[in-house]
Structures are given as structure tokens and as C-alpha cells.
Amino acid sequence: MTRATPSWSLIRMPKRDHYDSEALEAGYAKTHRVYELVGLSLAAWTLGWLFLRVLDLPEVSAWEWVLALLLGLLAADLVSGVVHWAFDTWGSVDTPVLGRLAIRTFRHHHIDPKAITRHDFVETNGHNAMLSIALTLPGLALANDPEVPALVPLLLFTSALFVATTSQFHKWSHMDEPPKLVALLQRIGLLLSPAAHDVHHRAPHERAYCVTTGWLNGPLDRLRLFRLIERVVTRVTGAVPRRDEPESPER
């Protein structure tokens, strides 16, 4: 399919196009592609730099690496859930800046969940790569402070690494035949499995927002944390959650 290249202007999409897969896919602009390429470049540079700094830290044990990897997966899972919930719940494609930058992608995914499997590496990972820089930059600053425990920059590195790759994990959960190693990691619960993620794509589509490992979906859903936050936001601002969704969404 040849993609149209609309700008990031505030021109409003017709309401029907908010639920049209081709119209939403056509919203993938050249400027967004540039943004993703910049995000991947900056993430690769800062992650690589932070990794080298972590390797130079004195007395980092193997157990600290294992702990940092597990906590990094948990942190990335939480970040993925909060971001996923936020862009699923609030705003629309016409929301200034964020509408075209992020919300469009989530609306498109609701209508055509398999579209993510057709995205290339840049389109899949560019946005999350940019987000990971919010963790690598503090990690680089703290790695230079001798009074900061080594586990702190190490944890920021692992969290940033898994935040940057979360959309790839999400993509694999939608693939009919993921790579064999990925399928194994999904079966043993280290990566988000298709069965676990399918919960989110069943009505009423208000559960299982976490898409890195899915470990936090059960606790967050049982606590009804996102529903509580929605009620608070509505009480304070009057905003209605999922107001942009069609009455009978096909997700």
C-alpha cells in the first residue's frame, strides 16, 4: 500500500476516518518516520553509552544483573500499561500533537490488530525508542556519581532497554509464527504471549494493557487501578474515557 504523507497539522479527520483502517494507516507521515529514525538513533547511542558506563562500575555482581533484568522487565511492563491505557482512553486522532504522534497508532491497532505484524523495524520500535531516552539520560548522569549505588544506573539501563523493545514484544504477540526462541520465551512467561494479550482484544477491551511481559496485568486488573484513575480524571476535568470509540468497536 502506498502511504499518504499528511503533515502534523491540526486539520481534523472526518469522524468516519477515525474508525477506518486505511485512513488511519495513511496518517503515517514522512515527518513521523523521521521522528522514529531520530528516536532509534538516539536510543542506540544512549543505551550503548550507558551500557559501557555500567560495565565500568565497580563490584557489580551477577545477582545484581539478574535482579536488574527482572526489575527492568517489571518497570517496562508498567510503563507499557500506563502508556497503552492513556492513549487507549483519552483524546482522539485530532488531539494536538499527540493525536498524530501516538493516538492514531493505537486507534489503528484497535481496528486492525494484525497491522503491527506488517510494520517494519522502524515503524514498530521508533516511538518506544524515543521514550526510552527519558531513562538513559538520568542513568548516564547517575553512573558518574560515586555515591549512587551501582544498581541504580544498572536498573535504569535494563528498564530503558525493555521500554525501547516493548513494541517488538507486542508485535511478536500478534504473529502467527514468531521466531522459535521468542515462542519459547512466550510459553514460559518471560515475554507477552498471544493468549495473554488476547484478553485485551476481547470486549470490553479495558483490561490487560501491559504488553512487555504481561506480568502486571493480573494485579492491575484486580485492583481496578485504571478504572479508579478514570473516575478521578472525569470528576476533576469532566473528560469522558474512550469517548472517541465507536459504539460497537471491531477490535
In this prediction, residue 25 carries a pLDDT of 82
In this prediction, residue 10 carries a pLDDT of 31
In this prediction, residue 110 carries a pLDDT of 83
> Which tens digit of pLDDT belongs to each residue from 179-196?
999 999 999 999 999 999
CA dist., res. 160 & res. 133, Å (int): 7
Decide if 169 contacts 193 (C-beta within 8 A). Answer: no
CA dist., res. 130 & res. 133, Å (int): 6
In degrees and rounded to multiples of 5, residue 103 shows phi and psi of: -65, -35
Contacts of 119 (CB under 8 A, 6+ apart): 171
Decide if 96 contacts 9 (C-beta within 8 A). Answer: no
In this prediction, residue 27 carries a pLDDT of 75
Low-confidence ranges of the chain (pLDDT < 70): 1-19, 245-251
CA dist., res. 120 & res. 130, Å (int): 16
In this prediction, residue 154 carries a pLDDT of 97
In this prediction, residue 211 carries a pLDDT of 97
H helix runs in the chain, sequence order: 21-26, 30-56, 62-89, 98, 104-111, 121-143, 151-174, 180-187, 194-198, 217-223, 225-237
pTM over 0.75, yes/no: yes
> How many other CB atoms are there within 10 angstroms of residue 122's CB atom?
14
In this prediction, residue 157 carries a pLDDT of 98
